[in-house]
Amino acid sequence: MAEHRTMQRDALLDAARTLLSEGGTDALTFPALAERTGLARSSVYEYFRSRAAVVEELCAVDFPVWAAEVEAAMDRADTAEGKVESYVRGQLALVGDRRHRAVVAISASELDDGAREKIRAAHGGLVAMIVEALGELGHEQPRLAAMLLQGVVDAAVRRIELGAAEEPRVIADAAVSMALRGVRG
């Protein structure tokens, strides 16, 4: 029975990823989850009390996997510059990934403070990974530089997701260039 419940929960999370990637948070509704999984709407409520709870669970499941992929890419780099580049490219490479779309959806306004705090903490872990590399590059305030760098990454993510005129590769190259050289280009 427990295994069956786990399978249903996994199916609901997978359906939620698809809905989020296809239509953003507006598409993530309990009727849509029920339809995608073949479960009764009342069954969906047995697993999750709200849309925010679905998104919170997705983040708890997907964010660590996503962060580990970025961290692994950074670990493969030999230099501090290589680590910074891997940090930027690693996050941008995940933009089309359904897991990433779910994580991006966490900015949805209906999330409660507890959920937002958990997500902020997880994101803080990602930023902490780059602080060390920025210190190696000689930044006097590597934590501040890391936060600003993440802002560049977040802007590039939004640009790619909006389907901007530039190719995702061009946006990634520009973000890496800005990260490594600042606004001097």
Q: Taking the alpha carbons of 153, 185, 85, 162 in that order, is the dihedral positive or negative?
A: positive
Q: How far apart are the first and last CA of the chain?
A: 58
**pTM, rounded to two decimals:** 0.76
- 129-183, pLDDT tens digit by residue? 899 899 998 999 999 999 899 899 989 988 887 777 889 899 999 999 999 987 6
Vertex 51 angle, CA 48 and 55, to 5° = 90
What does the CA dihedral 80, 85, 91, 96 come to, rounded to 10 degrees?
A: -160
- 76-125, pLDDT tens digit by residue? 999 999 999 999 999 898 876 766 666 665 555 556 677 677 767 777 77
Distance CA 138, CA 180 (A): 12
